[in-house]
Structure 1
Amino acid sequence: MKINENYRSLRDSYLFSDIAHKVAAFSESHPDRRIYKMGIGDVTLPLAPAVVAAMEEAVREQGERATFRGYGPEQGYPFLRESIREYYRSFGAAVDADEIFVSDGAKSDLGNILDLFDPDNTVLIPDPVYPVYVDTNKMAGRKIIYCAATRENAFLPMPDTSVKADIIYICSPDNPTGAAYSIERLRAWVDYARERGAVILYDAAYESFVSEKGLARSVYEVEGAKECAIEFCSFSKTAGFTGTRCGYTVVPFALKRCGMSLHAMWLRRQTTKFNGVAYAVQRGAAAALSEEGLRQIRANLSVYRNNAKIICDALDTLGIWYTGGRNSPYVWLQCPGFTNSFAFFDYLLEKTGVVGTPGGGFGRNGEGYFRLTSFADETTVRGAMAAFSAAFG
């Protein structure tokens, strides 16, 4: 018997688990201190009323013999896939309902999609980056190369024609930096992938925060992307499903490599290893995309957007450089007075009670930076930025 030796290359624990343990230890030793949690990207507002009503009705259906449903289709019920297709159409991206696969979240699919690719493929990942991209490829033993996301390129790296990669990760709006690609800049990545026969894994989990005209909400807004890109999205941030779990992945029919259809491969993988998302959850997700549901979830999103503005306004007043926030729930700031982001984390927690995420946890180019999230109630955000301003004003 042999184990997967690639696990030896991983950190002992996941970044956000480390942070949670540090905060818990601080709270235990300082029981009277106010803690402002703005580190983990978890939503705080409840599910929209339309979603709750739909899920309650679905549960009642499951309690009646005439309307009970057992195993559903692994790729998702048609009513939800049609709703997602219409949602894409609302911002000018065309996908077929049968190209959509419903899942329990983008994080799961971002890891599971690697079943389709040989371990010998070279993976291109931006730095800094969401740790899941790196760790899931390390687990498989793939060669990873990095493209530098820095202040100089606005944390939006562009293709380098001298670099050969088979799998390319793009997240826009980005986690952790909040930077977002325009449709035109994204076109360069699509052209690069098509010329080289590479596949783009495009994480669109935060697309609902995009408000600026010209910024991409989907890679499929770029002509030719269906020949080279798989897109992952989620209801977690759009509709507050972090505790409900529902997402979707789009694998176009036109995406083929080595004489094989990646759509057919993913369908085969899902029907073998996945039994689908709960019926009640899918009814809730479809309700989130209804006219009334969209109105309600946009009201929630406006709260998070306003929180981001509160953060940005405070940083503007202090003269601290940052990016993100305006088309993203994340604000990525340069650590004031610190070059080590983990030291800044400790200092900020001790001095102000504000919890964020050290940029160094996202990669080498994240060192010296810090991520704050707007996924909190307004009182927490205002209190956090008041404490922050008092410490650095």
Structure 2
Amino acid sequence: MALKNPHLYHLHISSNSGKNYQKILDKITQFQASNPKKKIYMMAFGNTSQPISESVIDAIKEYTDILSNKEKYKGYEDVVGNLQLRELICSRYYQPMGVTLEPSEIFIIDGAQSATGNISELFSKKSIIAVQNPMYPYFIESNLMMDKTRIVTLNCYEKNGFLPEKPQQKVDLMYLCFPNNPTGVTAKTNELKSFVNYALNHQSAIIFDGVYGKFVRTRDVPKSIYQIEGSKKCSIEINSFSKTANFTGVRLGWCVIPHELTVGDSSPSELNQMWKTRYKVKFWGASNLAQAAGIAVLSQRGQEESEATIQYYLNNASLLRKTLEYLGLKCFGGIDNPYIWVKGRQGLSSWEFFDYLLENTGIVGIPGCFFGTCGEGYLRLSALGHREDVEECVEGLNNST
């Protein structure tokens, strides 16, 4: 008799993330039924709104022609990813930051989320795992799914600018996300350096979510963990085209496992080769059509188009944040990140603040408690929507005062 996976089953029946998403949708449905003439401003989810750029669409069309031509047709790519794409990630993404990587250290993935969870398979079930609080729920849920339950939280409080506390015990893995989702805050060079030093001193590994690195505009805020000295020896970085090139539906990204990386009983290049073996067993590569699109994103024209997209979302965030602050609400993020972390009015819980904004402004965010206990009393807003909606929402907020 086949038995279901007990770890996945218990996550299925106890997961708060699925329940919270459904609760948000149910509240929207109820509000619309009671207020059919009021407009909803959806700022809850991290889905992009702008079309894929012209040069990337041209590349997709060109590759579609290749797939439809018997003489030119291509099937499987290299299991770890198209070599040209990996070379471009090294030369066009990392080299301008002063970071030198080899294509053999780059692994192409189908979006950041799958790799962020699956990367934990490199490490023992006995690993002690540290995550920020508040944090993206998947960091915890993906580990629980693999029966990794030795999880500690690095609490992030407003008084410390939502930067995480250092582990009070030895941990084996640390999940760090900067610029952060959900709080939108960034870490300066010296702040990231302290975590790299911890990892080096304790033979720990950092799993660094760098998806929003290209949004950084502030000096002395690293776009990549590899801008920190010594980080290649202890850090894995995960990145994506989703937010910078509007690839939320295309699904393409990469992770970096440096040859220098060693933890515990591992030797140089061993973890890199173990991850390659896992690819051959459980993945076999991202879509070649998506990878052709990624190559176009990293062309000179594609990078210019991508920068325009990033600035569009940052302008959305700036406009929204300034208005919320004008109305007396305390905000974080929205400067080097498309997310704004808003503190609720005094005495309101996250869900009460959610209800207050929805009922009075039509704005839908995600209650901060969704992201952990340290998120209670806050709300995350996404500025990845349409400019006209943000402007209309801002005008409504100003007129309500």
Question: TM-score, normalised on structure 2?
Answer: 0.94
- Provide, for residues 336-382 of structure 1, a one-character-per-residue CA deviation record: whole Å limited to 9, x for no partner: 24431112112221222111110010000000011111111111112
CA distance in 1, matches of 2:266, 2:212: 33
Percent identity between matched residues is 35
2:84 is equivalent to residue 79 of structure 1: yes
Tell me which of 76, 96, 105 is aligned to 2:111.
105
Q: Residue 175 and residue 301 in structure 1: after superposition, are their counterparts in 2 closer, same or farther (change >3 A)?
A: same
**Alignment match, 2:28:** 23
Amino acid in the other structure paired with 1:91: M
The answer to whether the 8 Å contact 1:16/1:40 transfers is no
**Alignment match, 2:361:** 352
- Provide, for residues 104-162 of structure 1, a one-character-per-residue CA deviation record: whole Å limited to 9, x for no partner: 000010111121122211110110001110111222232111111010110112424x3
The answer to whether the 8 Å contact 2:338/2:383 transfers is yes
Amino acid in the other structure paired with 1:11: S
Three-state SS of the structure 2 residue aligned to 1:360 is helix
CA distance in 1, matches of 2:185, 2:372: 16
Amino acid in the other structure paired with 1:71: Y
**Alignment match, 1:115:** 121
2:8 is equivalent to residue 3 of structure 1: no
Structure 1: which 5+ runs fail to align?
none
**Alignment match, 1:134:** 140
**Alignment match, 1:88:** 94
The answer to whether the 8 Å contact 1:36/1:383 transfers is no
Worse overlay, 256-265 or 326-335? 256-265
**Alignment match, 1:373:** 382
CA distance in 2, matches of 1:265, 1:389: 55
The answer to whether the 8 Å contact 2:90/2:101 transfers is yes
CA distance in 2, matches of 1:287, 1:349: 40
Instruction: Please give the residue correspondences for 1:265-280 in structure 2 after superposition, counting only pairs within 5 Å.
Output: 265-280=274-289
The answer to whether the 8 Å contact 1:99/1:250 transfers is yes
1:12 deviates by: 5.6
Amino acid in the other structure paired with 1:145: V
**Alignment match, 1:385:** 394
**Alignment match, 1:212:** 218
Moved over 4 A (4+): none
Three-state SS of the structure 1 residue aligned to 2:242 is helix
2:70 is equivalent to residue 68 of structure 1: no
Three-state SS of the structure 2 residue aligned to 1:237 is coil
Three-state SS of the structure 2 residue aligned to 1:249 is strand
Worse overlay, 171-180 or 258-267? 258-267
Structure 2: which 5+ runs fail to align?
none
CA distance in 2, matches of 1:309, 1:134: 31
2:144 is equivalent to residue 154 of structure 1: no
The answer to whether the 8 Å contact 2:367/2:380 transfers is yes
- Provide, for residues 265-324 of structure 1, a one-character-per-residue CA deviation record: whole Å limited to 9, x for no partner: 100001111121121211111111111011111111111111111112112212221110
Amino acid in the other structure paired with 1:5: P
Three-state SS of the structure 1 residue aligned to 2:131 is strand
1:97 deviates by: 1.0
The answer to whether the 8 Å contact 1:357/1:371 transfers is yes
The answer to whether the 8 Å contact 1:338/1:344 transfers is no
The answer to whether the 8 Å contact 2:155/2:164 transfers is yes
RMSD over aligned Cα atoms: 1.6
Amino acid in the other structure paired with 1:52: I
**Alignment match, 2:240:** 234
CA distance in 2, matches of 1:366, 1:12: 14
Worse overlay, 359-368 or 111-120? 111-120
**Alignment match, 1:259:** 266
Count residues in correspondence. Answer: 391
**Alignment match, 1:185:** 191
Worse overlay, 167-176 or 92-101? 92-101
The answer to whether the 8 Å contact 2:130/2:154 transfers is yes
The answer to whether the 8 Å contact 1:345/1:357 transfers is yes
Q: Residue 17 and residue 54 in structure 1: after superposition, are their counterparts in 2 closer, same or farther (change >3 A)?
A: farther
Three-state SS of the structure 2 residue aligned to 1:102 is strand
CA distance in 1, matches of 2:185, 2:176: 11
CA distance in 1, matches of 2:155, 2:396: 33
Q: Residue 253 and residue 214 in structure 1: after superposition, are their counterparts in 2 closer, same or farther (change >3 A)?
A: same
